[in-house]
Amino acid sequence: RAGAKKLRPREKNGQQDHGSRSKKAEGRHLAALVLARGGSKGIPLKNIKMLAGVPLLGWVLRAAIDSEMFDSVWVSTDHDEIEKVAKSWGAKVHRRSPEVSRDCSSSVETIQEFLRNNTEVDVVCHIQCTSPCLHPSHLQQALKKIIEDGYDSVFSVVRRHQFRWKEVKEGSGEYTEPINLIPAKRPRRQDWDGELYENGSFYIGTRDLILKENSTQGRKVAYFEMEPEHSVDIDVDIDWPVAEERVLRFGYFGRGVSLMFCRVSRCLTDGRVFLSASGEDMVSIQTKDTTGLRMLQNDGVEVVLLISNEDPVTQSMAEKLKKVMGCEVMDVGDDPLKDVQSVVEQKRLDWKDVAYMGKEVSFTACLGRWPPEGPYAETPASKGPPSSAASRNSASSPASQPES
């Protein structure tokens, strides 16, 4: 997309600079912190389980980094594999102590340990890993309440239209009573504003508040209201398919890419060769794949099909796709990286702006060009950042509880 490079987090001394934020922060260090221990009971290692092709942890890290509001983005964990995934998505890692890694450990205890170990942090945004529909704009707007409006704490909420009743014990002889309605004057949904509930996406608090008040909510408190479609929480197995459907529709898929290279042979074809009655070789192509490429084009991504001259059948098919879809066809030789690299340089792009699909061994060099510190989704035939279109086409709890 035009201007895609300008939207990426700035780089400084070879590392991402997450401090592209308002100067009104007055020199305070803003840190994002995701708590992701390895001992989750509901869903084992759920924090790195794949959700719609992306580790659960990756969804919130991508939103935090792309918000460009933070001086540092962290994951607090006690697990080696979670640490590996966190670093691959551009986060720093706080290796928590055993004292705050127990089932009974609270989120606040872990955040306090993080703050004591990182004395430069003035404001911490605790982002819950189980909220995959979080967007950068949510964090940007919420943090402005801290930076510009002077609040000490901000947390995310969702509006619900649910009538609540008093709970009574069976056999107690008590009768239940309405809590937030008058049954004789039961309002219509459109006539009632509903109520605000924590949705558990994030909790922002100042260092002084968290260390002295033992809470992320206190003093001058504000809330940030999120839409119901973005208020997703994953706690047990049954939540997973629901969250996957929701994230494919309402999740944040990153800033996208500007250019996609796609090897025709064995990426768009299925590896089978058919023989016609006249003795001609024929190959088949999945219409779902071409639909996916069109979706990428509609999303502003330029698609380049890669072929080899010695493969006349694939070359003929690529020319047909070029005519139908209007995408460029490029011949590559024994060193496809050299050919592809020249196009990337001509278009003044970085490899972070590029998606790549290849299958043969000769294409591993191209796949390896994707920055190891950057987020990516990997299958046997592809390696590159998931775009909204590609991800849609390929798809076949509050902090008051002990943290996970």
Active-site residue set:
186
Give me the sign of the Cα torsion angle 240, 245, 247, 248: positive
Token output for 156 = 């995310």
* Residue 139, CA distances (Å) to 62, 78, 203, 215 in order: 12, 26, 10, 20
The DSSP element (H or E) to which 219 belongs, if any, is none
Burial class for 90, CB neighbours closer than 10 Å (0-12, 13-18, 19+): buried
Q: What contacts 110, CB < 8 A, 6 or more positions away?
A: 35, 76, 96, 100, 403
**Rg for the chain (alpha carbons), in Å?**
25
Instruction: Quote the CA–CA distance of 85 and 88 in Å, as a whole number.
Output: 5
Q: How far apart are CA 250 and CA 244, in angstroms?
A: 10
The DSSP string of 165-213 is: B----TTS-----BSS--GGGPPPGGG---EEEEEEEEEEEEHHHHHHH
| Distances, alpha carbon 216 to alpha carbons 109, 143, 268, 274, in Å | 11, 14, 50, 64
Amino acid at 132: P
Chain Cα centroid distance, residue 283: 36
Q: Is the CB of residue 404 less than 8 Å from the CB of residue 43?
A: no
